[in-house]
Amino acid sequence: MKSFASLVTLILTVIFLTSSLSHSGEMRTWTSKDGKFSIEAELVSDRGGRVTLRKADGKRLTLTANKLSAKDQEFLSSLKPSKTKSSKTNSDPKSSEKRLASAEKALKLLSKKLSSEGLKHPSGPTGECVVYATAGLAFMASGDEGYKGEVTKCYKFLKENIFKKGIIDDPKWDQTTWSYSHTLLFLAEYEKFTKKNAGVTKLAEQLVKELVARQGPVGGWCHGKIVDNALGYRQFVAATNCAVLGLGGARSMGIEIDESVFDKAEKYFKESSDLSTGAVGYSPGPGQKGHGEAGRVGGAIIACIAAGKTEGSFFKSMKKYMLGDLDKVEIGHGSAQLHQLLAGWACHGLGKKESGKFWKLYTDSIIKRQASDGSFATPKGDKMAQMTQRKGGVEDGDRATATHALMLLIPEGHLSVVTTQD
């Protein structure tokens, strides 16, 4: 294990982030958990388990929060807003009441199903792990301590099922990158929600090892292992978005991941894009490069936030493109519900103004998709759901309800891996 000082040296990075913390600007002594390292510095930002400090000479360093002393961690906690259910951060006040009421109906339905038949997905364990991870994130995003039991049930299911094979045992139809990525993100939030890590870190390390091994030579990820899949391609941006987001969550837990993994992913995003507009395409391949869609670009934005890749003109151009195309996110190709979730999450990560724009556009249309029992249907433009339904599957099910509940609750600010940059 490398010493804390060596770790700091390795991750030393000059970044230019603004901070909304009222205590930034105050010099104080920061100490490592083992007491072997200390530094006099001011706090610049605390996001996703990564703390950025600035020394008196202006140099900055970024390190993992859980490597700091208990006193430092208590100081960081004191700066964060209290996690009450009524928190209304980053949201249009006029839509908050409707949004929260809709989310609560969805959570109650998910809770009821957890206690009876469980959460389902037509693809079996692989898809069900995505549903359980998403539902668990939604319960935690509510900030309601009363949902601890449901969060624990989600964790137990994931621990028991994450490495089970799906219904179709064929590498060409392997979809486990999705389940591994979602589960990693859940585990990162679960560790902070429960303030426990017994067994959680070990499972996360297994998933990290698998996902890192799956990164392709050009920096992207596919549905599963790097093989020619049934549709004839290997890597694409949507899967890469989720993989990087999950790995960013793992790093916030203190799991060491070589920075080259995130460097290659950022390069992959750039090579898939029209750099003049910020439109992130499906892949770097012919006919796919630069064909932007707001949800896919939003996914790249939150992946870059989680990876600490928010500097430079590329990130700014992605932000401009997504916000300019935000009104079309429900009609994007592929999984429109995933794209809308990622666009909403990206807006939250960018700040109150951007989050307000998203919810001004979509509060009513999202709530209209909710049935009286609390369940949700996917957007009409969701081609993935349409394809699944034609083959006899049910995409308008527990995954849609969990995804929409999470989407509605992200503005409350209780999740830590992607936090607002305001």
| Confidence tier at 199 by pLDDT (50, 70, 90) | confident
Look at residue 15 and tell me whether its pLDDT is greater than 90.
no
Q: What pLDDT, on the 0 to 100 scale, is given for residue 351?
A: 93
Query: Do 363 and 235 fall into the same domain?
Result: yes
The answer to whether residues 249 and 356 belong to one domain is: yes
Q: Are residues 302 and 375 in the same domain?
A: yes
- Same-domain check for residues 66 and 171: no
Phi, psi of 51 (to 5 degrees): -105, 130
Task: Give me the residues paired with residue 38 across strands.
Answer: 31
Return the SS3 of 399: helix
The neighbouring-strand residues paired with 40 are 29
With bands split at pLDDT 50, 70 and 90, how would you rate the model's confidence at 378?
confident
- Secondary structure class of 43 (helix, strand, coil): strand
Give the integer Cα–Cα distance in Å for 180 and 195: 22
Alpha carbon 196 to its chain centroid, in Å, reads 20
| Averaged pLDDT score across all residues of the chain | 83
104 shares a domain with 21: no
pLDDT of residue 384: 60
Region 90-99 average pLDDT: 67
CA distances from 222 to 69, 111, 172, 178, 266 (A): 39, 32, 11, 9, 16
Owning domain of residue 9: 4-79
Kindly report the pTM of this predicted structure. 0.78
Say yes or no to pLDDT of 155 above 90.
yes
Give the tokens for residue 257: 């991941």
What are the angstrom distances between the C-alpha of 394 and each of 254, 377, 378?
38, 10, 11
pLDDT at 84: 40
pLDDT of residue 167: 61
Tell me, what CATH number does 248's domain have? 1.50.10.20
Same domain, 119 and 175: yes
Q: Please say which residue of 79, 103, 125 terminates a domain.
A: 79
| Spatial CA neighbour of 354 closest among 402, 290, 410, 309 | 410
Average pLDDT score over residue span 119-142: 94
Q: What is the CATH number of the domain that holds 17?
A: 2.30.30.700
DSSP structural state of residue 410:
G
86 assigned to some structural domain: no
Cα separation, 368 vs 372, whole angstroms: 10
The answer to whether the CB of 25 falls within 8 A of the CB of 62 is: no
Give the domain-ending residue among 79, 107, 141: 79
Same-domain status, 246 and 392: yes
DSSP for 234-252? Answer: --BHHHHHHHHHHHHHHHH
pLDDT tens for each residue of 280-313: 998 998 888 998 889 999 999 999 999 999 999 9
88 part of a folded domain: no
Please tell me whether residues 380 and 287 are part of one structural domain.
yes
* Predicted local confidence at residue 264, as pLDDT: 97
Note whether 64 and 104 are same-domain residues: no
Q: Is residue 418 part of a domain?
A: no
Is residue 224 exposed (0-12), middle (13-18) or buried (19+ Cβ within 10 Å)? buried
More confident residue, 131 or 332: 131
Report how many domains make up the chain.
2
Q: Are residues 388 and 270 part of one domain? A: yes
Q: How far is CA 171 from CA 32, 177, 215, 393, in A?
A: 44, 12, 16, 21
Cβ–Cβ under 8 Å, residues 418 and 348: yes
